Structure 1
Amino acid sequence: MKSQTIRRWSFIHTWSSLICTLFLLMLAITGVPLVFHHEIEELTGGAPVLKEMPANTPRMDLQQLVKAAQAHRPGEVVQYFSWDEDEPNGMYAFMGKTAGGDPNDTHTFMLDARSGEAVETPSANGGFMNIMLRLHVDMYAGLPGKLLLAFMGLLFVLAIISGVVLYAPFMRRLDFATVRPNKSTRVRWLDLHNLIGVVTLTWAFVVGLTGVLNACADLVIAQWRNDSLAAMVAPYRDAPPLTERAPATDLLRIAQTTVPGSEPSFIAFPGSRFSSEHHYAVFMKGNTHLTSHLLTPVLIDAETLNVTAIVSSPWYMDALLLSQPLHFGDYGGMPMKILWGILDVLTIIVLGSGVYLWWVRRRAAATVNVPQAVEAA
């Protein structure tokens, strides 16, 4: 019975690993540059650079920046404004043909908050880093690609669990971290595969689960829109279309007064995915390291500038928001990024060695079966 259980777990581990390996290799390879995307953009000139100005140069108000963005991309509408964490005088503008258009068709650039000058960000609109991101997120296949990667992530988690089940009885015969140098190449690689797998176990499990959650982001956001956002804008369900919106000038003052002790993360303009046809939505974040990843939306009537709703995000949105920086190692600065990069490379070795061990075992089994077939003939 015990041997049958081990064989079942071995079957689960082998095929869950093999099915997801090619996808996991692609995710691991594209994940390395994404962990260091800020540094790569700076080295390659993809990061926007603002002009030097006196320290006391005043900033433009939001409505002036809206006009500056529209002047830079005539014929398009502003979907979002967001603040750059590394450049206090920079603000990212997201624009598209329509407010609620496909996010992949959005054009992103930075606005100098002091002058309104637009600075292009090539890495956000094509280029190497954008290719890496699209491959990692949806393989250029949209929602079907994301769901496929989510399924592969679940298989990866299953492979980790089954690997732990198999590793426990195996290590009763050997000391931890034993690599048998006098054995065959296959045995040495098996020992290395097991050793590296155990070392990266917790990291791989966390990254696998957060990857699954991130891959389901569109579904999570759709649930939030149909649940929390729909409840917040319910009084406007039968309201006539908005014909004229109030200037965005005072949005930050209104939001910061409503949620004291918080900072703005981004603004969703009327008609975008994170707002409604009748509202500006200012998403405020906390001022601690943890709460800076949690958002509180403040809905402001786009015609009267009255605050109409403020509701904490539901647990599933909080889980998504917390999982994103954890997935890419954005919580602990450069030391954590380096650790994430090393563990990513080790995972590539585990995946590659797993395929090698399966192939060698399969070839050995075929070699044994050939003489038996000849004798039977």
Structure 2
Amino acid sequence: MQRDTLKTWFLVHKWTSLVCTLFLLMLCVTGLPLVFWEEISHLTGAEPEVAPVAADAQPADIDELVRTALAEYPGDVPLFFGWDDHSPSVYVNTGARPDTPPPEMHTAIMHGYTGEVLPAPQFNEGVMYFLYRLHTDVFVGLPGMLFLGAMALLFAVAIVSGLVLYGPFMRKLPFGTLRTGRSRRLAWLDLHNVLGIVTLGWAFVVGITGAINTLAGPLEQAWQAEQLGEFAARYEGRPRPSQLQLASLDDAVATARAAEPGMTPAFVSFPGTGYSGDHHYGVFMHGNTPLTERLYRPVLIDAETGELTARPQLPTYMTVLLLSQPLHFGNYGGMPLKVLWALLDLLTILVLASGLYLWFKRGNTEARVREIERMGEAGIDEGARA
């Protein structure tokens, strides 16, 4: 590789790494417990105990469950109703107005068959929610999400440029060489290079999926404008139906089940929440496999008449978003994949920390480029002397 080209790649790696490293360290540290969010919630009691369902039990009426939730929070309106795929519990999100943001929502968790209200903390409270907000938007909403997305993209560039530099620097050294007998900085450099290559694929995937996830808000708004706009035009000039004018939600869900017999409902959005316009229930159906349970098919039900309006297809960009979200946290393969994600996360923290150490012990750019060239030319000898 030519000296000028090598110098350019070194500068790209240096500055992209420096700009994003502190933020990536924060994301790796906060992301580690988030990988085990469900398990931590169960151990700490944040996930309520749900009594088993009797063999002949029938699901409770959904409308009655919504009324129970509203009784818990007088003055609120219903926003979302959802099912837990792994237990017979259901949840109802309520808020002061239809466009209530998640940090201000209330949540009632109930047994889906008995209607019993289950004691559980609010999802938007506690240490895990604090870590989640810090990890996703640093408590400033969309600007924070987009900023972290930019840092994730810089991280991807740093990974690619690091791979380019790894070739000439380490091509004549045995893989995994750690030269500990010469200088501390050289040992840290070898550790940085080895761990960087080991975690390269994982770090790139997590970085790119993280960047995609930060676009969730704009992508959802684009989908709503694109897919729901044509249905909203049919109701132009009509006010949003009041709570008393809403058709039976239980019947709406039954209609959606009949329309998509191979799928099960995941959650329902009420009119005004942004997920189904101002005049529809949005019954979001999904599959039953680890992959298809992440892919939703919205079924729009007229909120006043209860009639099926449409079954719009999710665009490709929404499918990519839905698939990237669980992949980012290793939620596809159960506990083994989560443990692997955690180990790779810890190794990435070491890569970032060693990169910071090397920067503090840095020389000038020309010296670093000469070092890369020298190691590429005499790597075997250097390794033998270590």
- Give the TM-score, by structure 2 length: 0.91
CA separation of 1:235 and 1:103: change in aligned 2, threshold 3 A: same
Partner AA of 2:189 in structure 1:
L
1:288-327 equivalences under 5 Å are 288-327=289-328
Deviations 1:314-341 (A, max 9, x none): 0011011000000000000000000000
Larger deviation, residues 16-25 vs 102-111: 102-111
Q: Structure 2 stretches of 5 or more lacking a match?
A: 368-386
Q: After superposition, give the CA deviation of every residue in 1:187-226 in whole Å (9 maximum; x if it has no partner).
A: 1111111111111111000000000011111111111111
Checking the alignment, whether the CA contact within 8 Å between 2:297 and 2:314 is kept in structure 1 is: yes
Query: Hey, what's the Cα distance between the residues in 2 that align with 1:121 and 1:134?
Result: 20
For residues 188 and 300 of structure 1, the distance between their equivalents in structure 2, rounded to whole angstroms, comes to 63
The structural deviation recorded for 1:141 is 0.8
Rounded to whole Å, the distance in 1 between the matches of 2:296 and 2:127 is: 30
Gaps of 5+ in 1: 367-377
Greater Cα offset, 328-337 or 278-287? 278-287
Summarize the alignment of residues 44-193 of structure 1 with structure 2, pairs less than 5 Å apart.
44-51=44-51, 54-87=54-87, 89-122=88-121, 124-193=123-192
- Taking the TM superposition and a 5 Å limit, the aligned residue runs for 1:234-245 are 234-243=233-242, 244-245=245-246
State the identity %.
48
**Which amino acid counterpart does residue 124 of structure 2 have in structure 1?**
N
3-state secondary structure, aligned to 1:158: helix
> Structure 2: which amino acid aligns with 1:350?
V
**Paired amino acid for 2:314:** S
Deviation at 1:312, TM superposition (A): 1.3
Q: Distance in 1 between matches of 2:293 and 2:33?
A: 24
Change (3 A) 1:84 1:167: same
The AA in structure 1 aligned to 2:91 is Y
Aligned to 1:372: none
Contact in 2 for aligned 1:30/1:133 (Cα 8 Å): yes
Question: Post-superposition shift, 1:237?
Answer: 2.5
Judge conservation of contact 2:240–2:271 (CA < 8 Å) in 1.
Answer: no
Q: TM-score, normalised by structure 1?
A: 0.93
Give 1:53 shift.
6.2
Alignment of 1:248 onto 2:249: yes
Structure 2 matches for 1:189-268, cutoff 5 A? 189-243=188-242, 244-268=245-269
Q: Which amino acid aligns with 1:30?
A: T
- Contact 2:93-2:106 within 8 A present in 1 as well: yes
Q: CA RMSD in A?
A: 1.8
> Which stretch has the larger CA shift, 173-182 or 274-283?
173-182
* Letter aligned with residue 8 of structure 2: R
Q: Do the aligned partners of residues 113 and 342 (structure 1) sit closer, same or farther apart at CA in structure 2, a change above 3 Å counting?
A: same
Paired with 1:311 and 1:229, the residues of 2 have a C-alpha distance of 8
Q: Find the aligned partners of 2:8 and 2:122 in 1 and give their Cα distance.
A: 46
What secondary structure sits across from 1:233 in the alignment? helix
Instruction: Look up the equivalent residue of 1:7 and give its one-letter code.
Output: K
Are the counterparts in 1 of residues 17 and 158 from structure 2 also a CA contact under 8 Å?
yes
